[in-house]
Structure 1
């Protein structure tokens, strides 16, 4: 009985709300059309979606309470400015989900509510009307259920009892199931699909990974500064003191002179190795001159004539000779990609010219390195392209290598660089 009462209350309360929801589609359409006609809708439409969200959330909370499940609230808070509000409304999949829900609520809420009203109301109406059979004229008697005439107290009581028993049993079976069907449909209609959840999760992971990579790049820069300004400076000072000590020793110092010589040479080797470590961690020139200056210095010192072209196509206008601000991880990856390809071109390709082109277009950076060498790059032999692929894969980028026998060789790398 408790399930019957809960289901009846849920469906009967949803019937007038479903009828009221009939107004939502035409009102939204009218407000949207007024945006182009009178302009009032430009201000009203985003706020109408907020009202629709609250209306849909009220039904969603009712359905979740009936089912006994927990849901996450879906709030819609408009930003500042009409353009931002419209972009927010048009890009939000939840707004489209609310609009689809209105059609479903109309299509299921009204029939379900009417069915519950008929199932529960028929026996009640029969019990109320049956005792009044004697008020009807004999030639037009009261008819109940399937049009059965009531001619006396026996038929009145029998029809009332049969109506209560039959419709009561049918209501006890059907109403809770009908209410559960409607509630589950309401919650499901306003919940994101598995694909949307996966897409949202991928976006969150991509954003978090970008943050981790930026933090990693910042930490590498900090370590590079510490090693450069601290450890390397101390090694230089030690090497200088050892050199002075060697010069101060007499010619017949013997074993002591040899020890100082080994210590001096060891300190210089340690400095060389430390510089190499610093360069491979995060090139100091990137911090000093940025990616533009670092690439210019890199190509100037390459073993083959190289030219650099930079272009920024974002912000709706092409700007040659600059790329704008890039994440540290992307700058480092682009630098090492160009460095590796220039090294390969100088050592293996026999190229006489290399063109390095970097193009930024919105949230991606395209790095293209082309040489006129003999081609025939074979990644199976452990070329530097394998290292490039690993570095790019860490940033969720793509690598395309074109190197037919006889050349030319073109390596195209696409890196996401949205901040």
Structure 2
């Protein structure tokens, strides 16, 4: 029981010391906030008067971001929480950049925190200062009493002799202890929670940050997926297919080596035919994984070759697409191949037009045929396969196919 009581007292003492230090540091910080706020006002005024604020304001907000980040970290340490640091403000000079910075939610949060920190930090800091001052008075009162001079007076009590000095010391110690044990920790926690709440991003901003992180991750995954597709295609082409070719040649040589038992000859013929079939299937698999023509000619060249093999005239119009991830190239190639195949089999089209162009970090594809239209995805026309490939890369597919035609397929894929 004694050990538990001692542990509780130690914990309370440590909590009181941490809270007292937090509020005492916050007091001059809150007072300094006045100066920072005044500098911000000056910067804002100079925007309208001299235009100098266009240069000063971004730097001022960046400095306030660092100032707020330090207080956010201190509040998180006091509460024992983990918190994501405030992203630094971008320092870009110019009317539009400054206006966007002023309108940013992070700037509004910063202004709210500055006001609350000044008001709450000053008030709570003064309570901590009184607590620390009373504790210091308890320690210094004997020396004050021994040094000649005017008597010390607190709350109407003068330290004129040892009994009055002892009474004054006891009163100061009791008030300081009460503040340190109950008031100061509670006020420090309130102040810290308010700081974290004021500086915390909104739900919409958190979702936006999450989307940005997922977009970056998706880009890395797409690049890794493309590299893996190339590796698998290369291994199958250079190793497995070459081995099958060697086996087929040896079987052919065995068949022609001389007269053999008819049963053995039949087995050799079957093995040779099976090897040829396996090579045919392997080539089909390789083209499905990563068509070699993409590596040889690029997307535009591969599509030209695809159009040339079609029984329907195909017009390919591809702008300079820049760098396109391998996975996106593969998905576009197979989607266009599927669309051309569907048109040839089902639409009765006499012409197909394919248009590819880049808009920022999006690759847009349009496929239009002059067939009879009336595409029904439920009948297995291959459109579901196009949707699956595109959706796997966070893309979108839209299809317009009224009865009588034409059929237009629009594909939108990220290619950052």
**Normalising TM by the smaller chain, what interval?**
0.7 to 0.9
Matched with 1:286 is 294
- Which residue of structure 1 lines up, in the alignment, with residue 36 of structure 2? 24
Gap change, CA 1:31 and 1:323, over 3 Å in 2: same
Distance in 1 (CA, whole Å) between partners of 2:172 and 2:303 is 89
Deviation track 1:85-128 (CA, whole Å, cap 9, x = no partner) reads x79x9599766644442233234333444576789999x99xx9
Contact 1:292–1:322, Cα closer than 8 Å, also in 2: no
Residue number in structure 2 paired with 1:205: 214
For residues 119 and 400 of structure 2, the distance between their equivalents in structure 1, rounded to whole angstroms, comes to: 57
1:396 Cα shift? 0.8
Q: 1:63 aligns with which of 53, 75, 87?
A: 75
CA contact under 8 A between 1:356 and 1:370: conserved in structure 2?
A: yes
- Aligned counterparts, 1:11-410, within 5 A: 11-31=23-43, 45-74=57-86, 76=88, 90=101, 97-113=109-125, 175-247=184-256, 249=258, 254-310=262-318, 321-410=319-408
Q: Distance in 2 between matches of 1:180 and 1:19?
A: 20
| Larger mean Cα displacement after TM superposition, 13-22 or 272-281 | 13-22
Q: CA deviation at 1:69?
A: 3.2
Q: For 1:258 and 1:27, locate their aligned partners in 2 and report how far apart those are by CA, in whole Å.
A: 95
Larger CA deviation: 380-389 vs 287-296: 380-389
| Larger mean Cα displacement after TM superposition, 402-411 or 163-172 | 163-172
Partners in 1 of 2:78 and 2:232 — Cα distance?
58
CA distance, structure 1, for counterparts of residue 267 and residue 72 of structure 2: 82
Tell me the alpha carbon deviations over residues 220-263 of structure 1, each in whole angstroms, 9 at most, x when there is no partner. 1112122222222332333344445545545x963344333223
Let me know the Cα RMSD of the aligned residues.
4.5
Contact (CA 8 Å) 1:305, 1:354: kept in 2 or not?
yes
1:268 offset after TM fit, Å? 1.6
Question: What CA distance in whole angstroms lies between the structure 2 residues aligned with 1:197 and 1:249?
Answer: 77
Contact 2:303 2:333 in 1 (8 A): yes
For the residues of structure 1 that align with 2:17 and 2:256, how far apart are their CA atoms? 103
Give distance in 2, aligned partners of 1:170 and 1:23: 30
> How far off its partner does 1:301 sit?
1.1
Q: Distance in 2 between matches of 1:97 and 1:27?
A: 18
C-alpha contact (below 8 Å) 1:354/1:371 kept by paired residues:
yes
| Equivalent-residue separation in structure 1 for 2:334 and 2:82 (angstroms) | 50
What is the rounded CA distance, in whole Å, between the counterparts of 1:198 and 1:416 in structure 2? Answer: 19
* Contact 1:120–1:168 (Cα < 8 Å) also in 2: no
Asked if the contact 1:364–1:414 (Cα under 8 Å) also holds between the matched residues in 2, the reply is yes
- Secondary structure in 2 matching 1:23: helix
1:303–1:174: structure 2 CA closer, same or farther, 3 Å change rule? same
Measured at CA, do residues 78 and 359 of structure 1 come closer, stay the same or move farther in structure 2, by a change above 3 Å? closer
Matched-pair contact (CA < 8 Å) for 1:249–1:257? no
TM-score w.r.t. structure 1 length?
0.75
What is the rounded CA distance, in whole Å, between the counterparts of 2:244 and 2:254 in structure 1? 15
Corresponding residue of 1:318? none
Contact 1:379 1:386 in 2 (8 A): yes
Moved more, 328-337 or 205-214: 205-214
Name structure 1 gaps, 5 residues minimum: 129-134, 136-143, 149-155, 311-320
**CA deviation after TM superposition for structure 1 residue 326, in Å:** 0.5
Contact 1:303 1:343 in 2 (8 A): no
CA shift in 2, pair 1:170/1:46, >3 Å: closer
Say whether the 8 Å CA contact 2:294–2:302 is kept in structure 1: yes
Q: Which deviates more, 52-61 or 372-381?
A: 52-61
Return closer, same or farther for 1:236/1:70 CA change in 2, 3 Å cut-off.
Answer: closer
